[in-house]
Amino acid sequence: MCKLRSVFTPYPDQRPGTSGLRKKVFVFQSKRNYLQNFIQSIYSSIDLLDRQGSTMVVGGDGRYFNQTAIEVIVQMAAANGVGRLVIGHHGIMSTPAVSCVIRKYKAIGGIVLTASHNPGGREGDFGIKFNTANGGPAQDAVTNRIFQISRTIEEYAICPEILVDLATLSKQTFDLENKFKPFTVEIVDSVESYANMLRNIFDFAALKELLSGENHIKIQLDAMHGVMGPYVKRILCEELGSPANSAINCVPLQDFGGQHPDPNLTYAADLVETMRGGQYDFGAAFDGDGDRSMILGKHGFFVNPSDSVAVIAANVFSIPYFQHTGVRGYARSMPTSAALDNVARATKIELYETPTGWKFFGNLMDAGKLSLCGEESFGTGADHIREKDGLWAVLAWLSILATRKQSVEDIIKDHWQTFGRNFFTKYDYEEVDLDAAIQMMEDLELRILGKAFMGQRFAVGEKLYQVEKADNFEYTDPVDGRICRNQGLRIIFTDGSRIIYRLSGTGSMGATVRVYIDSYEKDPDKIFRDPRVSLRPGKRLFRD
């Protein structure tokens, strides 16, 4: 029943990025055994003794090629000695829910099928990410091992006759040759375990009063035809009482309805326009796999993700979970604005600045050093799981609204009055030629690290910025001492403002150059202005 098959040829391009392996769908479909090579590399990266009879979790965001990949993953799991797979109904499970279920079932890991906020469909992207036993993305040592195996792999193991019914909630067993126990596949409710976890974090009674009580607020939530539709419907509408029409685009589609499932002002423009009408008090949009969300207030008031995590930190005890656990530390990714730093400084709580990638937060959480964290790319979360969590962030904001009885805009403006404001903007240059991008970064690094650059002054409007420090960010993990170098170029000014340049590893083609501008303002008379820097392709930020 189970067989060893030749891989035909290893592939040199299966190095997992910060969010796993992401490629165009046609790469998985057109390259012989491309999927099988990578899945076998994941299984082979786990010690045989740990793998035998173990439990693993599988789920995806429902994008095109999801069910095809799950069929192969199941057949190869059986052949590689895995004892039980726990799979979301119809193969769908949000990334936060996968992390939750891994931890609940004490699984040795999980395979997440998603390309997050990247487009789906036949012409879109597909991704495979391996999460380890803590529920979080695999650390570098694991992904490096997977990559090395993928370059030398000669064969893969598969039981091609195993066919699983993903449409029925059930436990399915398969008797295999030379196995003492049958191979088991459990198709589980994708929402319930995750919803039960949230019930133990938030005050659902207070949230229900906020959303359906006598003086309830009106909300609009856009699942963008990604994985979050069933979660929003079940938790926000059916359980917390928000009207059914407050949740839109809740049917997961293989191509996300032809849209880009990225919760920002550009791709969630329909929600932004609806919120501008003033009918709704609170709005949110979710990405394809449910780990990111955008927060909006009445009249389309936009909450910058960097401000969002800072506001949650400043109001952290509005959430019952933190009333019981306390707060061990805060963290942000290096490109994220320093708004969270201001809260940490005022509350005397440790602040960690990490490279981009949730795995760095997970390491701090496992060591008991971190409670709340976030990143500028609409990801916020806490130590309840080891992934960022879009719906958790929405419920955190609703908890703050329930406690403070203010609008989103008033809460944000009060925050700026107390802590100052970090004007923050980000520019993405996608599908750039990789060699040219690397050369640009090298040239820029030489320039900013030169002695002549230190102390230079630059005027923007009425404000003068003086360079205090410039470097290529290096992170030493306080838990295990590992050092991560070359994480992005930083230009830091004397007032704490910053400009960051970084190459991203989450695209499927070419390189993405990301530029971040973080300007701090503490003058109460200026914090409500919007002095955004205009940055256009080809425009120089630096004088010659």
The residues carrying an active-site annotation are 116
Rounded Cα distance between 329 and 343, Å, is: 11
| Whole-number Cα distances in Å, 444 to 254, 450, 454 | 40, 10, 14
Tokens of 498: 């910053």
Q: What share of the chain is helix, strand, coil (3-state, %, to 5)?
A: 35, 25, 40
| Separation in Å, CA 72 to CA 39, 169, 173, 296, 431 | 9, 20, 17, 40, 30
Residues near 109 by beta carbon (within 8 Å), at least 6 away in sequence:
46, 56, 57, 102, 130, 131, 132, 133, 138
382: nearest Cα among 96, 113, 116: 96
Q: Of 272, 335, 280, 332, nearest to 308 (Cα)?
A: 332
Cα–Cα distance for residue pair 76/2, rounded to 1 Å = 9
**3-class secondary structure for 237-282?**
HHHCCCCHHHEECCCCCCCHHHCCCCCCCCCCHHHHHHHHCCCCCE
Specify which residues 330 forms β-bridges with: 351, 372
The torsion angle over the Cα atoms of residues 291, 297, 301 and 303, rounded to 10 degrees, is -40
Three-class SS of 18-85: CCEEEEEHHHHHHCCCHHHHHHHHHHHCCCHHHHCCCEEEEEECCCCCHHHHHHHHHHHHHHCCCCEE
DSSP letter at 298 equals: G
Residue 296, classed as helix, strand or coil, is strand
- Decide: 109 and 99 in contact? Cβ < 8 Å: no
Nearest to 387 by CA among 101, 21, 63: 101
The SS3 assignment for 200 reads coil
- The DSSP symbol for 169 reads -
Q: Are 447 and 544 in contact (CB under 8 A)?
A: no
Q: In the block, which residue shows the tokens 């909450």? A: 303
Burial label, 277 (beta-carbon count in 10 A; 0-12, 13-18, 19+): exposed
